[in-house]
Chain A
Amino acid sequence: MNKLLLAALVSGALSVPAFAADYAIVAPAAPGGGWDQTARTMQEALTAEGISGNVQVTNVPGAGGTIGLAQFVNQENGNPNALIVGGYVMVGAILTNASPVTLAEVTPIARLTGEAIGVVVPASSDIQSVDDLVAKLKENTGAVSWAGGSAGGADHITAGLIAKAVGLDPTQVNYIAYSGGGEALAAILGGQVTVGVSGISEFASQIEAGELRLLAVSTDTRVPGFDAPTLQEAGVDTAVQNWRMIAAAPGLSDEQVAAINADIEAMVNSATWKTALETKGWVNTYLAGDAFEAQLAADIAATEAILKDIGLVQ
């Protein structure tokens, strides 16, 4: 058996070809998180489909991805082999952390996946619908406590947008930040807070088991597999999506950008990628080119506005 293991180690060591890596993907988060999984799934798909001979993933965790982004911009200028995973959380983090480097300094390639934010209450809660929640908020905004991820992230923004859309002061939202969706989920299940907001996949198994009641989803269309209205359908006129994207280094030529675009498009259409999305429960929201750049600009503007309303950004 030790022989088998040794063989595995040695083959792992020798299977790397002698050429430079075709792509080096930076996952600006710790191993295990969403961005890391996106990067590693890309690595798998790009190599399995023969789009790229060798893909390396490096993790640069910290501060909502802004540490990885800053390092990427500083070190990879003009490198057509360097890619970075990012997402909507980065948009908020750049603003709240007053990051010196912004998304304007990378070359956005494409949006890959997206996820709705779910608004949930424990099964035992007396809140049955979004209307009940809005009524409670209007009665006493501060008495409704919201649990979600870190301050200024997509979850916090969703809570602020809901308050704003029903005509309340977003600074009065009593948002309790937890490090990571897991800890927030425990607080919601334990009935420590009134309502929870987080990526819908974090809640999926609890909703299925009947432990949590899903009041609404944050996207502008319903999410297949979940029996809940969108916020807009429930009478709260706002929509937000937590998306993930891939970007390339600054300072690339048009041909280089086109080549990367072609590789990513081939990956998105590959069987490996599609199967991976299915097993992980991710929704394909592939959007590239000008359409993506326009959406990115709109998201950044909207996020800055709501973060100012919440009071996190001056």
Chain B
Amino acid sequence: METFDLLAQGLLAAMQVQNLVYALIGVTLGTAVGVLPGIGPALTVALLLPVTYRLDPAGSLIMFAGIYYGGMYGGSTTSILLNTPGESASIVTALEGNKMARKGRGGPALATAAIGSFVAGLIATLGLAFIAPTVVKFALSFGPADYFALMVLAFVTVSAAFGDSALRGLTALFIGLGLGLIGIDLQTGQTRLAFAIPDLLDGIEVTTLAVAMFAIGETLKTAADREQVDAQVMAVKGSVWMTADDWKRSWASWLRGTFIGFPIGAMPAGGADVASFLSYSAEKSFAKNPEEFGHGAIEGVAGPEAANNASAAGTLVPLLTLGLPTTATAAIMLAGFQQFGLQPGPLLFTNNASLVWALIASLLVANFMLLVLNLPLIGLWVKLLTIPKPWLYGGILVFATLGTLGANGAMSMGIGPVRISFELVLLLAFGILGYLLRRFGYPIAPVVVGLILGPMAEQQLRRALAISQGDPGILVHSPISIVLYVVAIIAVGLPLIMRLRGRGAVLGQLATDED
């Protein structure tokens, strides 16, 4: 098979000692910057891309692959240990991962994230190499109506992250949906809810909201709680490694996460965040002990982290085969590829075969380096928790504001003669909101989820109805949308049926849930 030959050649080139060193540097840099709370993969790649320009094409390509995977992975570390995700795709990782870390199981949580990322990265990169054309055909067959069905499925399953009260979960979701309305309406160019503030015209930045809600909100909540401030943190209880039981519970989740993440990452309107939400709820439905979710279930880290990384490789499918950047990170990567002389598009695999295969081989090597680098470091990362709280949280706020300033830090507002950054004002306001929501028992994740999914669902629905000239039949016109709605109905129905089948304890819990 010619494909194997080309891949083997690429791998041989990538395995040269010099290139391995570049891969290691790339992974180290990517992880080091990506790990900082508040700095997500898009910013990491944008910041580090110029570093690669100084090398020869092969070297820069491989270092770049390392930075990409390192940056994608790095965010999960602070999500798990400090509950401060730097971007939307690590939010669900924080849900279970941080609960695990608080029980002294940060080591296994990081390990399952690292190995899951590796497994997912490996399978998804191979998928990119061998089935990209098929996957892209499938992704293109998704019309607006199908995307809307996917959003409905995502909305339905988001309830998995609602915590113990449907009322407060829905309220948090609707606050997010409300924030999602702000800005210029894409379809008509009309301004909604911007209150004549120019900075609101483009809407609320998801990263700003996520960093504020988690990093700032968490800092405020921790500071306000005397017991937490004084508590001695147990960085590690038991082994820092995964136990046999952890392995048994993780492997299926890694695979499920991979198979959810890869195709969704490949969709022009999918993305790592949607993939991680769906993976989380899938894990909750498949889990033998769903009641453990919300209290540190390892499946809830393993699945979404695998989905997150698989979707990172999935993003490369439309990027390489169609020249379609589907995420902010991908858009920055497209600029990077052009520097290497790669012209993404349908002819890429024929016109630039050797470079493409070098890139795919680089991704495989980088993925492996990531594991090599991060597994031994887990013991070191968990020591983050032993940094005295004043310095730790001071540092978190420094990086959270640095990330916000770096991504969107224009001094666009003025109070008298003083120029200030509107984005930092938003960061502060949402941070206080995040604290208040925590204080009154509201879950945080649905707010961010609402901001991400709300505008997507609205745009896709309106596109579908515009194309059909108002005929709502289009919504259930394709087999894909029908399948998605059926899955959504099962996702709602199955837990209900299982509960009704007389598991007393669960029934009791259900009774306490309604309010």
Binding site for B on A (CB under 8 A): 1-2, 5, 8, 30-33, 37, 58, 60-63, 66-68, 70-71, 75, 96-98, 142-143, 145, 150-152, 174, 176-180, 182-183, 185-187, 189-190, 192-193, 204-206, 208-209, 211, 279-280, 312
Contact = CB atoms under 8 A, between A and B. Distances in A.
Interface string B311-344: 0000000100011111010011011001000011
A176 B325 CA distance: 19
Contacts of A186: 139-140, 268-269, 318, 322, 324
B contact residues, range: 35 or more
Contacts of B334: 32
Contact of B332 (A31, A150, A205): A31
Contact of B469 (A5, A150, A174): A174
Given A32-B332, A209-B345, A63 B184 contact: yes
A204 B268 CA distance: 19
Given A97-B189, A179-B186, A205-B345, A1 B21 contact: yes
Nearest to A60: B410
B324 A67 contact: no
B389 to A, nearest CB: 31
B140 A151 contact: no
Contact of B201 (A71, A97, A178, A208): A97
Given A32-B331, A60-B410, A1 B201 contact: no
B463 interface: yes
Interface string B109-151: 0000000000000000000000000000001111110000000
B292 interface: no
Given A5-B29, A189-B140, A192-B143, 19 more contacts: A5-B25, A31-B335, A32-B334, A61-B408, A66-B198, A67-B198, A97-B201, A145-B466, A151-B185, A174-B466, A177-B187, A179-B186, A180-B325, A182-B268, A185-B323, A187-B143, A190-B140, A205-B343, A206-B346
B411 to A, nearest CB: 8
A180 B143 CA distance: 17
A189 B268 CA distance: 12
Contacts of A143: 469
A205 B466 contact: no
Contacts of B201: 62-63, 66-67, 97
B502 to A, nearest CB: 47
13 contacts: A62-B201, A66-B201, A75-B419, A97-B189, A97-B201, A150-B189, A182-B326, A183-B324, A186-B139, A189-B140, A190-B142, A192-B143, A205-B348
Contacts of B386: none
A143 B471 CA distance: 12
A189 B412 contact: no
B412 A32 contact: no
A151 B51 CA distance: 37
Nearest to A153: B189
B347 interface: yes
A176 B46 CA distance: 30
Given A1-B25, A67-B202, A177 B412 contact: no
Contacts of B143: 187, 190, 192
Interface of B: 21-22, 25, 29, 46, 51, 54, 139-144, 184-189, 191, 198-199, 201-202, 268-269, 318, 322-326, 328, 331-332, 334-335, 338, 343-348, 408, 410, 412, 419, 459, 463, 466-467, 469
Contacts of A96: 189
A186 B322 CA distance: 8
Contacts of A178: 186
B346 A205 contact: yes
B325 A182 contact: yes
A118 B216 CA distance: 47
Contacts of B466: 145, 174, 176
A211 B184 CA distance: 33
B21 to A, nearest CB: 5
B321 to A, nearest CB: 10
Contact of A192 (B185, B343, B467, B469): B467
Nearest to B145: A192
A251 B139 CA distance: 52
Contacts of A37: 335
Nearest to A63: B201
A130 B412 CA distance: 45
Contact of B346 (A142, A179, A211): A211
A66 to B, nearest CB: 7
Given A61-B202, A63-B202, A152-B189, A193 B331 contact: no
B54 A8 contact: yes
A60 B25 contact: no
Nearest to A281: B343
Contact of B467 (A31, A145, A183): A145
B189 A190 contact: no
Contacts of B25: 1-2, 5
A58 B268 contact: no
Nearest to A9: B51
Contacts of B326: 182-183
A70 B199 CA distance: 10
Contacts of B412: 60, 67, 71
